[in-house]
Each structure stands twice: as structure tokens, then as C-alpha cells.
Amino acid sequence: MRKQKLILIISTVLIILTASFTIVLATDDEQDIKAAGAKIRIISENATNIYAAGARVTIEGKAKQDIWVAGALLDIDIETAGDLHAAGSRISVKGKVAGKARLAGADLKIDAEIGEILNAAAASIEISENAKLPANTSLAGALIEFHGAAKDNLSLYADEVVFSGQASGTVTIEGRNVQLDDTARIEGNLIIRSSEEAVISPNAIVVGEFTQTGLEDSEFFKEHDDKFDGRGFFLILSTSIFLLGLILVIFARSFVEQGITTLRAQPGRSILLGLAVFFGIPLFVIASMFTILGIPIGVATLLLLPFLFILGFTTTTLGVSDWLLNRHNQPKKTGQRLLLLAAGVVLLVIIGFIPFLGGLLLSLALLFGLGVIAVTIGHVLNGKVLAAQM
């Protein structure tokens, strides 16, 4: 038994290492490109649409219509006549997007020309000197460094904003710290809403009117306060579920399939164990606080709770989407499994917006997920493997 477990562990590690360095090279002409894997490189000569998901995704070349990409590290250098939709941890965008660009991530760098509309949200956003942005561009984050050029009605929302670029129209900046450097040039009006006095270089040029007020006049928060509680929460939740599901499908496929099989075969046991885990964790944390050695364990458990809950939702999303859309329990390839995951995430968001019933169903989804995790871990520890479809 020990030998078998050792072989299983070594095989799993080798699979993960191999997957980490797998490159999917896709080249096509006048057709859609669909690719999913750990490490993907797409070179498009003239594809119609591009759909890609992976831990690391590189896209180069030209496309006729839209590009949809999700992953941890995204490197996009493309010329497309359509739109760009990207979500990931670290995103780099170069080239030219004739249509709209909607981007969300942790670290975002834009060194591209965007044609119609740019909406982006990230913890850190850098707009390079070569970037050319359209009218009605809206950027939101913790730190925004703007060195490029934009047309009229540029809106920047962040805790800290550094502006050294050019704008041909009105610029609105909202944040705690606002700084305009020597090379800043604004052809229209400049509106700053900040809790502190903006730092403006004497060499900065503002052709129109300049006004500064406090954050209590923030249009951003007035517009988004009523919406953020629901939409913001589900945006964060759905993005987290998809990214974690993406990682699990690529790097822990056996765990995913085992979890799906468990949810299908033992739903009753899963929800009972989910209840036990949900109420048992707080009791465990409280009990651990009564001993010196237990305090760090209790604190670590509390810190892991958000990840555990997201993992629970992700497990249920994978299982329910498979149960609804794969009624005959047919084996699925990685790309097909990711499409089912995306469908499950959309379904979860729709359910969440149902008054009262949505909250109840989401609670059940969490309990199912926690129970499935517990059952699956128990099977692995006991050397039992249900008949999972790969």
C-alpha cells in the first residue's frame, strides 16, 4: 500500500511538472481558436475569434473579431478588429484593439491602442507612454500610473493616482493621493476629488478649468454604492471561483473528477458532512485558543477560511454544472471541463440574484462543496477511489 501511494504521489508531481511546461501552439486562418492548458502560446495569422484559458497564456498575431482570455499570467500582443475581454492575475496588453476592451486583474499594464471603450479594474494599473486610449475610458484600482494619451472624458479612480500623460478633453480623478507630473498636459477641464491636496507640478498644463473638492462629492461612489454590495460581491466571487477552478482542472484534475463523482454518488452524505465542517470549524478554533500551542493553529485556520469557502463553491460549481450539462456522465477533455465550469459560474451568479431563495441556494452550494471536499479527502486517505470519469 505504501509503495502504491508513493508511486501515486511521484506520478502526480511529474504530471504537474510536465503540465507546467506544456506549450499549446495554435495557428489558424479565418477560424476560431480555442485552447486550454497550463501554458499556452497562440500565434494567430487571421483567426476569427480566440478563446483561451490557462495558467500562463501568450497570444500573438491578428484576429478578425473578439478575444476572450482568462488565466494567471496573460501576455497579449494582438491586432484585432473586435473586442478584448481578459481576466487574470497579471495582464500585459500590447498591439491594437479596434473595438472595446474590458480588463480585470491584479496587475495590469496597457501598452496598446484601444479604439472604442476601455473599462479596466485592477490593484495596480500602468498605462505606458505609447498607449492610446479612447474617449470615455474608465480605470479603477489601488494605484494608477498614467503615462499615455487619452481622448475626452477620462476617469481615474484609485487610492493613488500619478498622471504624467496627455488628454484631449476632460479628466476626472478621484483618490486619496493625486499627483500631476511635469509632462502632464490636459486640453480640457481637470476635476479632482481627493481627501488630500493634489500635488501638481508647475510645469503641468491644464488648458481648461481646474476644480478640486473632497471625496464626499465623489461621483464614482454615488453611482456605485447601491450596486456594489450585490454586483461587486458576485464579481469577486465568480472571478475567484473561475480562477480556482481553472487551476484545479489543470493541476489537480483527479481531485476535480473525484469530487464530481462524489457529488453525483453521495449528495446526502456530502451535505451532512458539509454541515459538520461548517459548524465544526468555529468550535475547533475556539477550543484551540485555550492552549498556547493551539493559538497559531486557530489563527491559521481562520486565515484559511476564505480559501476553504471559495474551494467549496468551486467544487459545487464543477459538480452541478457537470450534473446539469453532462447528464450521461461522459468523459470530458480539459477545454470541455472549463466550458462547463464557466457555465456553472454564470448559473451561480444568476441564482445569487434571486431574492431570498438565492441566498438559501448559495448556502446549500457552500455546504455541498465543503462536504464533497471532506468525502473526497477521506477517500484519498483511505485509498478508496470512486469510479471517476476522466
Residue type, 20: S
- Give the span between the Cα atoms of 356 and 16, in whole angstroms: 42
- Give the span between the Cα atoms of 172 and 157, in whole angstroms: 8
Residue type, 113: E
Is the Cα dihedral 321, 338, 363, 309 positive or negative?
A: positive
- Give the span between the Cα atoms of 348 and 272, in whole angstroms: 21
Q: Note whether 46 and 62 are within 8 A (CB).
A: yes
Among 347, 283, 342, 281, which Cα is nearest to 309's?
Answer: 281
Residue type, 204: A
pTM value?
0.56
What pLDDT is recorded for position 390? Answer: 43
Q: Which residues pair with 54 in a beta bridge?
A: 37, 71
Count of alpha carbons within 13 angstroms of residue 105, beta-carbon side: 25
Among 118, 250, 16, which Cα is nearest to 242's?
Answer: 250
Among 158, 105, 93, which Cα is nearest to 131's?
Answer: 93
Strands (E), the chain: 23-26, 33-47, 50-63, 67-80, 84-97, 101-114, 118-127, 132-133, 138-146, 149-150, 154-163, 166-167, 171-175, 177-180, 185-186, 190-194, 199-200, 205-206, 210-213
Q: End-to-end CA distance of the chain, in Å?
A: 24
What pLDDT is recorded for position 87? Answer: 79
> Residue-wise pLDDT tens for the chain (390 aa)?
444 444 444 344 334 434 444 344 444 455 888 877 667 888 888 888 888 876 688 999 999 889 988 777 889 999 999 999 887 778 899 999 999 998 887 789 999 999 988 988 888 899 999 999 999 999 988 889 999 999 988 999 888 899 999 999 999 998 888 999 999 999 999 999 888 888 999 999 999 899 888 876 666 555 544 444 455 566 777 888 888 888 888 888 888 888 888 888 888 888 888 888 888 887 887 777 677 777 777 777 777 888 888 888 898 888 888 888 887 777 778 888 888 888 888 888 777 777 667 777 888 888 888 888 888 777 766 665 544 444
* Residue 261 CB-density burial (10 A; 0-12 exposed, 13-18 middle, 19+ buried): buried
Rg (CA), the chain: 24
Residue type, 157: Y
What pLDDT is recorded for position 113? Answer: 94
- Give the span between the Cα atoms of 264 and 1, in whole angstroms: 28
Q: What is the DSSP string of 77-134?
A: EEEESS-EEEEEEEEEEEEEESS-EEEEEEEEEEEEEE-S-EEEEEEEEEE-TT-EE-
Residue type, 220: F
What pLDDT is recorded for position 234? Answer: 67
Q: Is 339 helix (H, G, I), strand (E, B) or coil?
A: helix
Count of alpha carbons within 13 angstroms of residue 30, beta-carbon side: 0
All three cell numbers of 286, joined, read 475556539
Among 157, 121, 151, 158, which Cα is nearest to 137's?
Answer: 151
Q: Which residues pair with 146 in a beta bridge?
A: 127, 163
